[in-house]
Amino acid sequence: MQKIFDQLIDSFIENKIGIAADFLSENLAHQLTQNLLLHFNNHEMKAAGTGNEQVAVQNKNFRSDKIFWLDKKNKNPFEDDFFKLMDAFILYLNTTCYTSITSYEFHYTMYEKGDFYKKHLDQFKNNDSRKFSFIIYLNQNWIAADGGELLIHHQHSEQHISPQNGKSVFFKSNELPHEVLITNKSRMSITGWLKSD
């Protein structure tokens, strides 16, 4: 995994956004996708809002995806494998880049056909504990016509990132405004934040 970790970190240093194509193995991506679909089909995923517990707002004109929070207490073996992978990445990140990350939070995300998330930053106004945003995509055979790209707004340019299966994206939560463009079919991911509490 060190090669993939280095790929994420090196591309982040070069362009303020780290990208690695195969952060998840094909099997783990498949199992996590099945978990997400199970929660979705059981109507356990809830409409996402903006803000945190102190200031939470739901506005479907701004954001229309559904989420389900991952929790180690669930003792799901595949989610546990995902947590072990994130623990290893954070240890490597802290050791090589001195980032002082102490915790993380992740949720499953489902965008149904027609869903989107308008331009935003990932850090709360009343809490700056989120240091890095981290997204892992769970979409087999994604093509350009499916839409749903992550659009990153750099200072003088824009970057489009397709949500292909197993790909990970990594950037500072308070620096890069971004949005999810309208998707033309179901678009799935695990989305979260590396935090310094």
Most confident of 39-53, 56-70, 77-91: 77-91
**Residue range(s) defining the domain that contains residue 101:** 2-195
pTM of the full predicted structure? Answer: 0.91
Q: Are strands 66-69 and 158-161 parallel, antiparallel or unpaired?
A: unpaired
The band of 197, judged by pLDDT with boundaries at 50, 70 and 90, is confident
The band of 51, judged by pLDDT with boundaries at 50, 70 and 90, is low
pLDDT of residue 54 exceeding 60, the answer is: no
Give 85's Cβ-side CA count (13 Å radius).
Answer: 20
Encode pLDDT of 12-46 as tens digits. 999 999 999 999 999 999 999 999 999 999 999 99
The band of 48, judged by pLDDT with boundaries at 50, 70 and 90, is confident
- Direct distance between the N- and C-terminal alpha carbons of the chain, in angstroms, rounded to an integer: 26
- Please tell me the total count of domains within the chain: 1
What's the pLDDT at 59? Answer: 73
Mean of pLDDT values over 110-123: 93
pLDDT of residue 124 exceeding 80, the answer is: no
pLDDT of residue 56 exceeding 60, the answer is: no
The band of 100, judged by pLDDT with boundaries at 50, 70 and 90, is very high
pLDDT of residue 122 exceeding 80, the answer is: yes
pLDDT of residue 133 exceeding 60, the answer is: yes
Please report, for the domain that includes residue 31, its CATH number: 2.60.120.620
What's the pLDDT at 55? Answer: 46
